Amino acid sequence: MNGKKCDRSYFNYITDIVHATADPNPYKKPAGMSLEDFCDLRVGELRDKILEIGPDRVACFIAEPVMGSGGVIVPPPGYHKKTLDVCREYDVLYISDEVVTAFGRLGHYFASEDVFGIVPDIITVAKGITSGYQPLGAAIISDTLVNRISGDAASENSYYTNGFTYSGHPVTCAAALKYLEIMKRDKINDHVLDVGSHFMKRLKTLKEFPIVGDVRGVCLMACVECMVSDNEQENIAVAQRVDAHCQEKGLIVRPYENLCILSPPLIIDKAGADRIVDILSDSIIATMNEMESIAI
C-alpha cells in the first residue's frame, strides 16, 4: 500500500444476496461496555439481520472461529454458541470456516467444538489438512444435515451428490493422510498447546509499548495491532515500519493495514517463539525511535 490508505472502492461487494454483521472484535467495543454486553449486542445484530431478510430467505451463517485474514479477531466468550443458538432458532445453517484454524493451528484438529464448544452443520477446511504440501480442501457435513437431505426423512428420489474434476485426487489425499499420521505420532496438537500458551504470554508483554494498541490470538495464531492515533493512515504507516524492521531482522510477518499478523510453524519450539517476540520488540523500539526523530 506504500503508506497510502487502502481504497476499498476498488472492491466490488455483493450486497443483495450476501450480508455481513458487525465486527465482533472486543478491542473495538464501545467504551465502558462489558464483554458480555458487547457479545449480546453483536448476537442481537445477527438476529435482527435474519429477521430483516426473512428467515426463509437466509441460507446460512458463515463464521471463522478466529477470523484470520481480517486481523485474527477472537470474538468475546460465548459469541459462537449464542450465534449458533440464533441459527437453530430460525433453522439457518451454521458453517464454520476452519481453513485457518483446523489441523493444529489452535492446538486441536478442529476449533469449533474443542475450543469454542459448538457443532456446526458444515466445516470447511484447507491449507492445514496437508500441512500445505499439496493443495486440498474439504467440506465436512454433519450427519444431521446429510440425513435431512438423503436419509429416511428425505423423499424417495432425494440424493446427496458432490463432485468436482479433481475431487479425491490421490496425491493430495495421500499427503493429507500422511500429515494426519504425523500429527498423531508426534503429538503436534499437544506441542502447539504448550508452545502456543508460552508464545501468547510472551507476546502480550508487547502491550507495554505505547504504539501497540492490542495483542490478541490463540496459540500459534496471533496479531499485534499498532495504534498511535485515530488516523487510520498514520496507524498503517507505523505498522509498515514495524514490519520492515522485522524483515530486516529475519522475521516475516503478514502486514495488513495497521496489523502485524503472525502464524508460526506448528513445530516451532519455545526458543523460536521467544526469538519472534524479541525481534518484534526490537522492531517496535526502532519504529518509536524513528518516530521520535521525525518529530524532532
Flag whether pLDDT at 247 surpasses 60: yes
Specify the fold of 8-185. Aspartate Aminotransferase; domain 2 (3.40.640)
Confidence label for 151 from pLDDT (cuts 50, 70 and 90) = low
Give how far Cα 45 sits from Cα of 24, 41, 287, Å. 10, 6, 39
* 261-278 mean pLDDT: 97
| Helix residue spans in 186-269 (DSSP H) | 188-203, 232-248
Confidence (pLDDT) at 3: 38
Whether 8-185 shares its CATH topology with 188-295 is answered no
The model's pTM? 0.88
Flag whether pLDDT at 100 surpasses 50: yes
pLDDT higher at 260 or 162: 260
Confidence (pLDDT) at 145: 86
Percent of the chain with pLDDT over 90: 79
| Helix residue spans in 54-121 (DSSP H) | 79-89, 111-114
CATH code of the domain occupying 188-295: 3.90.1150.10
Flag whether pLDDT at 5 surpasses 50: no
* Cβ atoms 138, 175 nearer than 8 A: no
Q: Is 234 exposed, middle or buried (0-12, 13-18, 19+ CB in 10 A)?
A: middle
* 207-216 mean pLDDT: 96
The full set of domain ranges for the chain reads: 8-185, 188-295
**Which is it for strands 60-63 and 259-262: parallel, antiparallel or unpaired?**
unpaired
**Residue indicated by cell numbers 481480517:** 70
Confidence label for 13 from pLDDT (cuts 50, 70 and 90) = confident
Confidence (pLDDT) at 293: 73
| CA pair distance 232, 4, nearest whole angstrom | 10
158 HSE (CA, 13 A, CB side): 11
- The letter for the amino acid at 80 is H
